[in-house]
């Protein structure tokens, strides 16, 4: 019986040696370039809170409805603009309204300023339409 067991083990080893213990080469996955998407959560908490508090003040004071709607509004704006774009658009808007004539033209006239201010207005209109209960 010992011979049968030994011969069985030897035949298994011989079979494995003849067929080889190769593995299939790993298939490589093509690297697909991923486009960066704006993060909805890239707005700092401080700036979100500041926006909500200003929005609540503009819409009649602190109630559950205005608090919820203003929080919704900044979330909707964040879907349309990155924080960097939002911050630049708010800065251009503030500085173009604060100064008149040639001094304000530096902030009002460049194409980047006009584009960002237009995009901010569109994002705010979209947010207002999406969030406020009529």
Tell me the pTM. Answer: 0.64
Per-run averaged pLDDT (10 residues), the chain, 134 residues: 53 51 55 59 91 93 92 94 93 77 67 87 94 71
- Predicted pLDDT of residue 30: 65
Is 116 in contact with 87 (CB distance < 8 Å)?
A: no
Q: What is the 3 state secondary structure string of the chain?
A: CHHHHHHHHHHHHHHHHHHCCCCCCCCCCCCCCCCCCCCCCCCCHHHHHHHHHHHHHHCCCCCHHHHHHHHHHHHHHHHHCCHHHHHHHHHHHHHHHHCCHHHHHHHHCCHHHHHHHHHHHHHHHHHHHHHCCC
Q: Report the C-alpha gap between 39 and 78 in whole angstroms.
A: 8
- Predicted pLDDT of residue 23: 54
- Predicted pLDDT of residue 91: 87
The torsion angles phi and psi of 117, rounded to 5 degrees, stand at -65, -35
- Predicted pLDDT of residue 130: 93
Is 70 in contact with 89 (CB distance < 8 Å)?
A: no
* Two structure tokens written together for 111: 């194409």
- Predicted pLDDT of residue 129: 94
Instruction: Give ∠ CA 55-60-65 in degrees, rounded to 5.
Output: 75
């Amino acid at each position: 019986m010992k011979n049968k067991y030994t011969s069985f083990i030897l035949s298994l080893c011989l079979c494995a040696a003849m067929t080889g213990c190769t593995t299939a080469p790993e298939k490589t996955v093509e690297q697909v370039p991923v486009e960066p998407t704006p993060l909805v959560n890239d707005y700092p908490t401080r700036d979100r809170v500041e926006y909500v508090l200003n929005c609540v003040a503009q819409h009649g004071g602190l109630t559950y409805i205005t608090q919820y709607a203003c929080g919704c509004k900044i979330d909707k704006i964040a879907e349309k603009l990155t924080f960097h774009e939002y911050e630049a658009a708010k800065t251009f808007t503030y500085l173009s309204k604060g100064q008149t004539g040639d001094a304000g033209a530096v902030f009002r006239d460049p194409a980047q300023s006009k584009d960002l201010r237009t995009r901010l207005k569109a994002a705010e209109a979209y947010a207002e339409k999406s969030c406020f209960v009529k």
